[in-house]
A = this chain, B = another copy of it.
Amino acid sequence: MMEHKGFTLWFTGLSGSGKSTLADLVAETLNKKNFRVERLDGDEVRQHLTRDLGFSREDREENVRRISFVAKLLTRNGVVVITSFISPYQEMRKDAREEIGSESFVEVFVKCPLDVCKKRDVKGLYKKAINGEIENFTGVSHPYEVPENPEIIVETDKMTPKECAGGIINELYHLGFL
């Protein structure tokens, strides 16, 4: 392992935009470069940290609060933390940035039109949400506030996952994190 500065790559975007796919690809690349990497994704976090929480605004905020705390601890100990959560509100992402430390926080907006996400519907969740089987679903019955000033933007309806991941790595070099 290499001794290096930690930072948090915070992926945000609609369900189906490609956050987890890109986060996995970037994690793989950084692992190969011998960085210490920790992926925090929905399933593992939900099982260990937030299984009491649902999808109301309050619960989403508490969810992001716990993740931010864990990301902060790892980041200040030299780990590259890669999170992939919808994190739909501007304010919760601002809170995460403040908790983790602005100089160690890289917001990646995974941009993809809602229509494209709905068509992809990899997990069949949009269909369920539209049929009213899931409450508080972002993009259907819950808002998604587009990031105003993310460090990185990738457009997954225009480029392949590999191209997007390559773009993120490239930006991380430019930003001085790699």
Contact = CB atoms under 8 A, between A and B. Distances in A.
Contacts of A55: none
Contact of A1 (B69, B73, B78): B78
Contacts of A52: 52, 62
B74 A36 contact: no
Interface string A47-68: 0110010000000001001100
Interface in A1-45: 1, 3, 36, 38
Give the size category of A's interface with B: 10 to 19
A51 to B, nearest CB: 8
A79 interface: yes
Contact of A70 (B36, B65, B73, B79): B73
Nearest to A3: B3
A160 interface: no
Contacts of A65: 48
Going nearest first, the 10 A-B pairs with the smallest beta carbon separation are A48-B69, A77-B79, A36-B77, A49-B66, A70-B70, A38-B73, A3-B3, A49-B69, A73-B74, A52-B52
